[in-house]
Amino acid sequence: MATTPEILSVEERDGTVVTYERELTGSPFPPPGRELTSRETGALLTVLRGLATVPGTEAMRRLTVQGDDRPLWQGHTRFPDALAAVVERATRRHGDLLAAHVPDLSARVAETVRALRALPGTAVTVVHGDLVAPNIHVDDAGHPVAVLDFGFFTTAGDPAFEAAVTAAIYDMYGPYAGEHVATLTHLFATELHHPPETLALYQTAYALTTYDLFSSDGGDGHFAWCAALLKTHS
């Protein structure tokens, strides 16, 4: 399994908290071309399989995902129920803005919440939540040696959520991003035995919970990406 960040010490300098961390090795893949290489897909599968072996802990359940105002698991005993509650809270923040870009948003939210709550219980493991290409470092042979930048949507949860989000965001803005989402979603469904409909549901939930994290006026690329994904999954 690749190494992850480790804080060795913490200091405060002039009101700023400074952490000293173990240096991680490797380098990220270059921007993907039209065809994803076997090195890329192999590294992604290795990381997803590795993270899925790390049990979710109580400390992970106490984490707050970006944009929310309480620990994700607060008041819940199942990940799908906790995620459904975040979807409801997130779409109340700037739902009118999102509704201007996504037809029948209120119905989509209601259906997403219903479908999440209907999911069966699963094993709970660590979820990184932001496995974009720069956050996975590999060695010269393409083997993953480091996973970094936890914190955007880090929690304890369903490994299928990690796979779904990774398939969607690995290449968010490249010229072949749509093809890559379809390719990786199919690959992860096949290799990791996640139902395709569950992966699509989790991708929808991710868009509904992160659409406004970079601006509240819809003027950023992440908002446009989320709106496009929601229309694709309609």
pLDDT tens for 109-121 read 999 999 999 999 8
Quickly tell me which residue has 């590294």 as its tokens.
43
DSSP state of 33: -
Structure tokens at 157: 């949860």
Which residue reads 């459904």 in tokens?
A: 84
pTM: 0.94
- Cα–Cα separations (whole angstroms), residue 121 to 26, 72, 116, 165: 36, 16, 11, 19
Q: DSSP class of residue 52?
A: T
Neighbours of 139 (CB within 10 A): 14
Q: Which residue, 37, 27, 33, is CA-closest to 174? A: 33
Round the average pLDDT of the chain to a whole number and report it: 95
The model's confidence at residue 68, banded by pLDDT at 50, 70 and 90, is very high
- Residue 206 predicted with pLDDT over 90: yes
- pLDDT recorded at residue 234: 77
Side chain identity, residue 51: L
pLDDT at 224: 96
**What's the rounded Cα separation, in Å, for the pair 183 and 199?**
13
89 burial type by CB count under 10 A (0-12 exposed, 13-18 middle, 19+ buried): middle
Instruction: Decide if pLDDT at 1 tops 70.
Output: no
Distances (CA, A) of 192 to 68, 97, 159, 186: 29, 36, 9, 10
Indicate the SS3 state at residue 10: strand
Tell me how far apart the alpha carbons of residues 155 and 62 are, in angstroms, rounded to a whole number: 8
Between CA 96 and CA 68 the distance in angstroms is 18
Q: Is 12 exposed, middle or buried (0-12, 13-18, 19+ CB in 10 A)?
A: exposed
Domains and CATH numbers, the chain: 26-232 (3.90.1200.10)
3-class secondary-structure state, position 70: coil
**CB within 8 A of 56, min separation 6: which ones?**
124, 125, 126, 127, 155, 156, 157
Mean pLDDT of 168-183: 96
- Residue 4 has a pLDDT of 87
